[in-house]
Amino acid sequence: LPAAGELLQRRQSHFARPQKNYYRQPPQIERGWREHLFDVEGRAYLDMVNNVTILGHGHPRLSAAVGRQWSLLNTNSRFHYASVAEFSERLAGLAPEGLDTVFLVNSGSEANDLAIRLAWAYSGARHVVSLLEAYHGWTVASDAVSTSIADNPQALTTRPDWVHPVLSPNTYRGPFRGEGSTGDYVRAVGEKLAEIDEKQEGLAGFICEAVYGNAGGIPLPPGYLEAVYAMVRARGGVCIADEVQVGYGRLGHHFWGFEEQGVVPDIITVAKGMGNGHPLGAVITRREMAEALEKEGYFFSSAGGSPVSSVVGLTVLDILHDEALQDNARTIGDHLKARLQALGERFPIVGAVHGMGLYLGVEFVRDRETLEPATEETAAICDRLLDLGVIMQPTGDHLNVLKIKPPLCLSRESADFFADMLEQVLEDGW
């Protein structure tokens, strides 16, 4: 075997350095099975951060379907074949009534870029409001509305003038705390919209995740999206729900994240889990909104919705359903959250356990009053967890939150193993 250090050096010589790699000494992964990854020496790791492979790794039914389709046909999506029609139909069937038109792309960034272009075309305006500290992608428009300084320290200084970030409704760490803070956070959006009104150039739209993802899955305060969507629509703006992480059953109770807030968006963007690791994304919207793009030009993606991508998308939906993975996300998620909360009673560094389903975040603080972020401690805890066979990663603008987004097939034993290992690290020190 080539030495791990030598391979890492080779990777760094020709693989672009800005493409992130979170571990100081990453394990060299060779294969995966369900929620586990195995390195070249056969050592197993519990994969607790993989928000892409929702079905788990190495799913035989998916592998067989992909292999069959590859050997039959894969081609430029300009051609006419059955699976793209079937997949679009299935996605439209999963979306709320009226959102019956689907674009297929290859990633979450592309989906959000296209959603913004649709909002521009439909509204005839340019200005878009997004939440501070959000991440929506790296392509030009999706990056512009991403204001996460953890991902991009320049985020707030390089913003184009059509982007208007507003205070994130972070009910744990924001200036307004608790569920009763809805009105304060809605007022912050109202003030931003009033500034845009003064320009007299209209409003194109508003984009956010239904659960505040970058901070480890903090639910938006109740009624927030209903109030914000009403203000945006009153100005002719389009409401975009970024479901790249929160959609597809990860939250356990609903298939879509926006259902947590009881709202219906105008545009849904999806990616990550929908392809279980295969590059696949979608924009789901109303027909008139999709067709507005014809005013500006056209849309084309060579591989978006290709025969292989469409078969992957259909098979992922079949497996999600047949293996009841949304139910598993709810039951195992509830169990894991209770175990993590119990750790909070023993260890003062655990400031809070955020999230729901298999979208959880453990926020580490040095002081529960001041909420001083325990950033270095979080990095050290992740490194110790790796030594114990758990792949974990920090998230949040202070990198002080454990990002818990495992495959939705996570077993109860694996959830307990993770909680046990975290307990051990907190007991032993890091």
Interface residue list for ligand PMP (CB under 6 A): 107-109, 112, 135-137, 209, 213, 242, 244-245, 271-272
β-partners of residue 278 are 276
Q: Least CB distance from residue 284 to ligand PMP, whole Å? A: 15
Residues 33, 44 contacting (CB under 8 angstroms)? no
Q: Which CB, 147 or 245, lies closer to ligand PMP?
A: 245
- Nearer Cβ to ligand PMP, position 123 or 393? 393
Closest distance to ligand PMP from the beta carbon of 52 (Å):
8
The residue (of 169 and 213) whose beta carbon lies closer to ligand PMP is 213
Tokens for 33?
């099975």
- In 3D, which of 276, 194, 203, 275 has the Cα closest to residue 240? 203
To ligand PMP, the closest distance from the beta carbon of 278 in angstroms equals 11
Task: Report the residue number, 243 or 377, with the smaller CB distance to ligand PMP.
Answer: 243
CA 397, CA 129: separation in Å to the nearest integer?
19
Please, which residue, 113 or 377, has the CB nearer to ligand PMP? 113
Closest CB to ligand PMP among 182 and 245? Answer: 245
* Strand duo 218-219 + 211-212: pairing: antiparallel
Q: How far is the CB of 262 from ligand PMP (least distance, A)?
A: 20
Question: What minimum distance in Å lies between the beta carbon of 138 and ligand PMP?
Answer: 6
Shortest Å, Cβ 303 to ligand PMP: 14
| Shorter beta-carbon distance to ligand PMP: residue 283 or 350 | 283
Q: Tell me the residue number closest to ligand PMP, measured at CB.
A: 108
Q: State the Cα–Cα distance between residues 335 and 308, nearest whole angstrom.
A: 36
∠ CA 355-221-204, nearest 5°, is 105
Inter-axis angle of helices 325-346 and 412-428, nearest 10: 20
Per-residue HEC secondary structure of 265-324 comes to: CCEEEECHHHHECECCEEEEECHHHHHCHHHHCCCCCCCCCCHHHHHHHHHHHHHHHHCC
286/92 Cα distance (integer angstroms): 10
Distance CA 409, CA 56 (A): 6
Q: Shortest distance, CB of residue 201 to ligand PMP, whole angstroms?
A: 26
Q: How far apart are CA 359 and CA 415, in angstroms?
A: 13
